[in-house]
Amino acid sequence: MTKRFLLAAAFVMSAAAALAEGDVTKEKFSPFFTREEAPHLEHVLPEPPSLTDPLFHNDWVQYQWGRSMQDSERGRLAVDDASIGAGYFMKRFTPEVGIELTPETHPELFRLFSRLHLTEQQAGASAKAFFHRVRPYQQFKEPSGVPRHESATDFTSYPSGHTHASWLVGLALASIDPEHTEGIMKVAYELGQSRVIVGFHYQSDVDAGRVAASITFARVMSEPEFQKQYEKARKEYAKVKRAAKK
């Protein structure tokens, strides 16, 4: 009995290992460039508005708008949008492109999104450290819509990293599927606004995140590793799209 049990257990473990081996979500990814190689966005972005700056009034108004949305369906979507990642991007963009995007159907696209997300973290790091801006929930001493993500010492509100990543991935996907540019970038825009709704970023943080993503996209396009992965994702996307139309 023991021998048979051990053999069965070994078979199950072997099968699970074989399954995991082909699972792109289990892979380890690296960014397309390092923090040292990234553009210093603090040399491009303006200073975020201070509390006495007239421009801060718009941040305050948008913060109040965000709080008013938190108990709505849009507010619940904003909470979901806090958990970004390659798989979540695929889920959010699927309704706009007319084909289902999953790690199983588009592993190369998953790899591209994953590496772009990591690249954004490298590109935004120096600006976040330089500006050292407090987040809205910290400034106003009010709970955010995603309390599990809160920190008393995380002063990295500007520019918005979630927006940076979402807009960057949106630009890449729109260039792969230009037919659906409007829908793709609409979702990318919504992902940024979700950060205002949950009270994790000011509107000016989100606006700066979109500028940062545009700069990062221009920079990453020159990287041979990006070009290689992008081309794999583009060919895969075209192949799946053709198959879906048959």
Q: What residues are labeled active site?
A: 162, 195, 201, 205
| Number of separate helices (H) and strands (E) present in the chain | 10, 0
Tokens coding 11: 């078979």
Cis preceding-peptide flag for 159 (omega within 30 of 0):
yes
Q: C-alpha 104: how far from its chain's center?
A: 19
Asked whether 133 and 147 are in contact (CB, 8 A), the reply is no
Asked whether 86 and 113 are in contact (CB, 8 A), the reply is yes
Q: C-alpha 9: how far from its chain's center?
A: 39
C-alpha distance from residue 109 to each of 61, 64, 202, 220, 235 (Å): 37, 37, 31, 16, 10
C-alpha distance from residue 52 to each of 48, 49, 55, 159 (Å): 11, 8, 8, 19
Distance CA 108, CA 23 (A): 12
